[in-house]
Amino acid sequence: MYKIPEEIIREATANHPRLNIEIRQLMIELGVSVQMIGISQFGRDKSEAFSLSTAVGGTHSVPVHAQVYIPEINVDLAVLDPNFPHMVSNSPSWSNANFRDRAQAVIVHEFEEAMIHDRGVNHNEYPVTISNALLQIQSGNFEESVMGQLLVHDYGHYGAIRNAVQTKLRYVSATARRILEQYHERARTFS
């Protein structure tokens, strides 16, 4: 299992206010609405565009059955690591990209994933299988709940990988686009 290097944690902690401002500004430049920046769900700190609490690249608010979905996103510690194994193995250009390009790629992915769930929940665009999976997360037994979570996650995640290469967000750098294209090509071999 991946463990973020200690020096990255120290750097991120010492520079959190600056990184938070940089990520927020980068999101705005790309065209992410201010309302989508930061995640308030489950008591999280909405002011955090850059989170110190995870190291997966970024995240988005999660859909919950029978609740309005509020699309929100953030970026996390993994964007500081050019050797982040998940991205290096799926998109080799990640390791040579600078912080800004890696952050842009994550922002685009998380934006597209949040918008898939927004359309699915708020506009009834989920396939029946995914709508049923959302219900199973809350009402099913443990195994059904876990399977429902996996289905909903994979639907959003792989959909975002597909959609990110044609994002409507603006000013995405050529390097960030290359990261997303490589991720898309690699993901196609698994879907």
Which pLDDT band holds residue 191 (cuts at 50, 70, 90)?
very low
Transcribe the chain into DSSP letters.
-----HHHHHHHHHTHHHHHHHHHHHHHHHT--GGGBS--GGG--TT-SEESS--SSEEEPPP-TTS-----EEEEGGGG-TT-HHHHHH-GGGGGS-HHHHHHHHHHHHHHHHHHHHHHHHS--S-HHHHHHHHHHHHS-HHHHHHHHHHHHHHHHHHHHHHHTT---S---HHHHHHHHHHHHHHHTT-
Domain boundaries, the chain: 6-188
For the segment 69-87, what is each residue's pLDDT rounded down to a tens digit? 999 999 999 999 999 999 9
The answer to whether 30 and 172 have CB atoms below 8 angstroms apart is yes
Whole-number pLDDT of residue 44: 87
Rounded CA separation 75/132 (Å): 29
Q: What percent of the chain has pLDDT over 70?
A: 98
Residues 6 or more apart whose Cβ sits within 8 Å of residue 140 = 147, 148
For the segment 1-32, what is each residue's pLDDT rounded down to a tens digit? 789 999 999 999 999 999 999 999 999 999 99
Cα-Cα-Cα-Cα torsion 57, 161, 24, 3, nearest 10 degrees, comes to 0
Rounded CA separation 188/9 (Å): 32
User: In this structure, which amino acid lies at residue 158?
Assistant: Y
pTM of the model: 0.95
